[in-house]
Amino acid sequence: MAKKIPKQLVHSVRYTALEAIERINHGGAYSNLLLNELIKKNQVADKDTGLLTELVYGTVSRKRLLAFYLTPFTAQAKRIDSWVQSLLELSVYQLIFLDRVPAHAILNEAVEIAKAKGNPGIGKFVNGVLRSLQRKGTPPLTDIQDQMERLAIEISLPTFLTEKFVQEIGIEETRKLGLSLLEPSHVSARIDVQRISRESAIDQLKEEGIEARLSEVSPYGIIADKGFLAGSKLYEDGLLTIQDESSMLVAQIMGVKPGEQILDACSAPGGKTTHMAALLEGKGKITALDIHEHKLKLVQENAERLQVSEVIETKAMDARTVDEHFAAESFDRILIDAPCSGLGLMRRKPDIKYQKSPEDFRQLPKIQRAILESCASTLKKGGILVYSTCTITSEENQKVIAAFLKEHPEFEKVELAVNKVVQPAIQDKMLVLYPEMLMTDGFFICAMRKKDK
């Protein structure tokens, strides 16, 4: 029978943070989806939701570094339950990185949680570890002899991923990348500029107490510095949708024109689909595919809220079979926002980096190339095919494009329509946007034209 935890403790921000971290560590949920559920379940006070988010994201994103700091003080323990380790990491995160929280409050609540979830002995152990760390300080990273391991722990990335990035962009750029992932992500939204200007949207949000500014990355974007965008009247009225600035670049690069036939081969949850639909201005059609029927419901719901459902038709289909279902030269433009490792999202979903294995980077490119292969014949001559991912590994990006172009000389890369802020991320006519460059999600985009002859 599970131990009954005192109600006062259950409602506390640190207990809820521990519960979230434990579920994330055991693969129970993505961090971004879990917090809202736990805030409601544990009835966390509104004033504490910001701190809760900071505790969970801060602890999960620095997991390897926090574990390293704890090692000298836990090495003698025969066995440490995973929740106790998580409680210690959560407490060390607060002690080192959140100076606004008094140390005595951190220790007292950690001990109370340890006693309530475990027993007085665990409370004593947690108290001893944290007081020793406070007294002696954390071990220096220079204690780690191996340079790659030292960097991996400093930026809290799995060692194999650190090695992969160092191989691709070098040690210093990998350090910059890794440290930038420890910064809080900002919330951005796309405005339907067909119906309201970004400036007018910002003025209306201000009336609701939401402070926002223009995005420098996308001509459709705004960034919220304060307030809850998804609770705004603009969101409710379908004039605004939550979307990362980097993701907004896709529809812009697609160059959609009213009256065109568009294929969105991997459309869920529909952010890019609905953006392209808005640019059609009610004329033309987007055929939006996804392998999962339930995910297409998200596309349909988003399309209805954003008032663009009349130009979107959803179909459940494996994008690797497009050429079996559509005639050759059916579409003016095709978007393949391919399934990928999602490593560009590590700031927003810090747990994603711990769920990857080297095998992922062998299997995913096979799927990505199969989708490209299947869609190629259904594009009209002179049409544009855009391949995008929310990842930053060359195996899923540049190498996939190189392999496709080698097999398909009838396609050629074209220049990408981006502004001067984004221009430094263009390499060989491809957008290779790392998360530290503009503090967006990491993203890759390549646009290819099917030659007329």
Annotated catalytic residues are 390
With beta carbons less than 8 A apart as the criterion, state whether 15 and 113 touch: yes
Q: Is 290 annotated as a binding residue?
A: yes
Sign, CA torsion 292/297/300/302: negative
Residue whose entry in the numeric block shows the structure tokens 């001893």: 128
Q: Would you tell me how many other CB atoms lie within 10 Å of the CB of residue 445?
A: 27
Q: Is 446 annotated as a binding residue?
A: no
Q: Is 266 annotated as a binding residue?
A: yes
Cα radius of gyration (the chain):
24
Distance CA 345, CA 390 (A): 7
Q: Is 209 annotated as a binding residue?
A: no
Q: Is 282 annotated as a binding residue?
A: no
Rounded to 5 degrees, what are φ and ψ at 415? Answer: -60, 145
Q: Is 318 annotated as a binding residue?
A: yes
Two tokens, residue 184: 């809080």
Distance CA 266, CA 250 (A): 13
Could you list the beta-strand ranges (E) of 211-364: 211-214, 221-226, 240-242, 261-264, 285-290, 312-316, 331-337
Q: Is 81 annotated as a binding residue?
A: no
Residue whose entry in the numeric block shows the structure tokens 């080192």: 96
Burial of 94 (0-12, 13-18, 19+ CB in 10 A): buried
Q: Is 319 annotated as a binding residue?
A: no
CA 166 to chain centre: 21
Q: Is 270 annotated as a binding residue?
A: yes
Two tokens, residue 225: 């510095």
**Annotated binding residues for S-adenosyl-L-methionine:** 266-272, 290, 318, 337
Annotated binding site: 266-272, 290, 318, 337
